[in-house]
Structure 1
Amino acid sequence: MNGTVTAVSSDGVYSFTKPNRDSVTLLAGLGVEGDIHSGVTVKHRSRVAQDPTQPNLRQVHLIHQELFAELRDAGFEVSPGDLGENITTSGIGLLSLPVGTLLHLGDEAVVEVTGLRNPCLQIDNFQDGLLKQVVGRADDGTVVRKAGIMGVVTTGGVVRPGDLVKAELPAEPHRPLDRV
């Protein structure tokens, strides 16, 4: 299972969107160098308020570019970095990967997949009605989250648009992604 990095984004301050960069540097055990969500413990404000000592399972946020086409068809204009992701990919089914998948990004970096992004109401402040497009329900009533996946950096390195993404699946049995 391979794909491509189409964009990389980071921001050193809390903001919903993140500007695109020529490259980002992933730091093992921390996340994206210079990004507000980088660190060993949680950095998302709601999680810090609950317990600031929790491990940061959301060091890197990845979204599949194919989501943007789906959103465009529904009348929304969303581009890489707009939803706060650090790495935008194409050609790889991020949402179908199991927990523990290792994503090899470029020549060196490796991110271990920890779970699904659980988007909050801020997404509707960005574009009204967008939350319903990225969180819904399947026919059986289960919640479907499409706003990307989260991971932790196991091996650091530089990631650039155009880099290859290779998924290394964990040993079976596979655990499906759940929100983190």
Structure 2
Amino acid sequence: MPSGRIVAISISKRKGVRKTNVPCARLVEGTGLEGDAHASPGLRQVSLMGLASIRKIVDLGLSVGPGDFAENITTEGIDLLSVGVGSRLILGQEAVVEITQIGKVCHQPCAIYYQAGTCIFPTEGIFGVVIRGADIKVGDALEVLASPSSLPVEQPVLNGFVKK
């Protein structure tokens, strides 16, 4: 199976504020990343983004990095966009996250959109649910499992997602 690694873990105590990169955190089963304002039951407990996606905006001349798109976990070495909804990721030794959504509708343009004229999160942000909680840290391995489940997922449309 494809493998990669965690390059950043980012949390914020409140929604709508810039996330802070931390060296380690705990993924809580059925909730998300402990201490993050977005952690709650539902289909978007944790968010991920590939470092390659962030580099697309850097190439446009913006100074952005891991966590600046409000993603909780930034990864490298796996094309998250090709993994697919229903796939499971092993993070570190024990944590398991199931992909539930790729992309999201942004209801208003963010600061990055105003600076670059585009934002990647609506098409390249990845959301998931925590199937098995555990501690994770920057540098931990990331592995893809090909075992989709029967969780309800949001249906894709061309410019984001429409809730079922």
TM-score interval w.r.t. the shorter chain? Answer: 0.7 to 0.9
Provide the secondary structure at the position in 2 that maps to 1:14: coil
Decide whether the 8 Å contact of 2:19 with 2:70 is kept in 1: yes
Equivalent positions of 1:21-170 (< 5 A) are 21-40=22-41, 56-118=42-104, 120=106, 123-126=109-112, 128-130=114-116, 132-134=118-120, 145-146=123-124, 148-170=125-147
Q: What is the CA-CA distance between 1:116 and the residue it aligns to?
A: 1.3
Rounded Cα–Cα distance in structure 1 between residues aligned with 2:111 and 2:39: 24
Q: Is the 8 A contact 1:3 1:166 kept in 2?
A: yes
Using structure 2 for the length normalisation, give the TM-score. Answer: 0.83
Measure how far apart 1:126 and its partner are. 4.1
Between Structure 1 and Structure 2, whose CA radius of gyration is higher? Answer: 1
Which AA in structure 2 matches 1:10?
I
The CA distance in 1 between the partners of 2:34 and 2:23, in whole Å, is 13
Q: Conserved in 2, the CA contact under 8 Å of 1:83 and 1:123?
A: no
- For residue 111 of structure 1, report the CA deviation from its aligned partner: 0.3
Shift of 1:31: 0.6
SS at 2:111's partner residue? helix
**Structure 2 counterpart SS, 1:159:** strand
| Amino-acid identity (%) | 36
Contact conserved, 2:46 with 2:128, CA < 8 A, in 1?
Answer: yes
Aligned to 1:45: none
SS at match of 1:96: helix
Deviates most, 122-131 or 95-104: 122-131
Cα contact 1:16–1:83 (8 A) shared by 2: no
Give 1:108's aligned amino acid: E
Three-state SS of the structure 2 residue aligned to 1:145 is helix
TM-score by length of 1: 0.76
Give the Cα separation in 2 of the matches to 1:90 and 1:6.
7
Partner SS state of residue 106, structure 2 = coil
CA shift in 2, pair 1:162/1:123, >3 Å: farther
State the distance in 2 between where 1:72 and 1:13 align.
Answer: 26
Relative to structure 1, is the Cα distance of residues 61 and 123 closer, same or farther in structure 2, using a 3 angstrom cutoff? farther
